[in-house]
Amino acid sequence: MGSANVYNVYGSFWGLTDEHYPRRGRPCRLSRLVNDMYGKLGKQMIRKTGLAALILLLHLAQTATAQDPKEKAAPERSNIISVAKEVMREARYCTFVTIGSGGHPQARVMDPFDPEEDLTVWVATNSVTRKVAELRKDPRVTLFYFEPESLSYVTLLGKAQVVQDPAEKAKHWKEEWAPFYKDGSRGDDYLLIRVRPSRLEIVSYSHGLLNDPETWAPSALDLP
């Protein structure tokens, strides 16, 4: 398999598009990551052995980091939160997961507002949607953000509350939503969902926040 095809296959797994591939003159994040870690040797291995080499190099990099006798201290709480906010802003969209009436998770993509200082997240929706009824029965939710350019994801677990306060609705409004709500933020069909997370999980290769090499568990924080 040629190097371009390698990046196509593995890049598509991470959600990367053609514009990230080396053949367009802009090396993808995976290419830069391997180059930083292994330089020319890594590139030669990928050209000769293809996708298997790329996966192996990334795995070895993570394992080597864990086994380094000069292993870095665990990342500080403030740094994890700061990186999480950055990933959430860059990702823009998130997957919003509720508990359905049959007990199964129900997921949909939403356009959230930027996270607040304490990682509270606001999203907007129509009052007749399924998610509103589900939240009133069970407020437990999961928000998942994925940012492919930096190979990062953030998961927030918490509880959601339906908010119909006029002041909050006016504050959390985007003009591009006007075609979907007859009376804009003032209408009864427009309401907000406030998510207060109790747990944060994150992996970000570009910021050095990696999975545990043995359990694959992400960096995580319990939030007050």
Band of residue 204 on the pLDDT scale cut at 50, 70, 90: very high
Tell me which amino acid residue 76 is.
Answer: E
| Least confidently predicted of 38-47, 98-107, 144-153 | 38-47
Band of residue 224 on the pLDDT scale cut at 50, 70, 90: confident
Residue bearing the bigger pLDDT, 124 or 59: 124
Q: What is the pLDDT of residue 52?
A: 53
Average pLDDT, the chain: 81
Q: What is the pLDDT of residue 96?
A: 98
Residue bearing the bigger pLDDT, 197 or 71: 197
Does residue 158 carry a pLDDT above 80?
yes
In contact, 200 and 84? CB cutoff 8 Å: yes
Tell me which amino acid residue 63 is.
Answer: T
Domain ranges of the chain: 3-67, 77-222
Residue 35's nearest CA partner among 24, 44, 48 is 44
Residue partners of 159: CB distance under 8 A and separation at least 6? 139, 140, 141, 195, 196, 198
Q: Which two tokens stand for residue 110?
A: 């939403």
Q: What is the pLDDT of residue 32?
A: 58
Class of domain 77-222 as given by CATH: mainly beta
How far is the C-alpha of 107 from the C-alpha of 92, rounded, in Å?
16
Does residue 2 carry a pLDDT above 80?
no
Which residues are paired to 161 by β-bridges? 194
pLDDT tens digits, one per residue of 52-95: 545 554 555 555 444 454 555 678 999 999 999 999 999 999 99
Q: What is the pLDDT of residue 72?
A: 57
Mean pLDDT in residue range 104-120: 97
Q: What is the pTM of this model?
A: 0.70
Mean pLDDT in residue range 127-138: 96
pLDDT tens digits, one per residue of 14-52: 444 444 444 444 445 555 555 555 455 555 555 555 555
Share of the chain above pLDDT 70, in %: 67
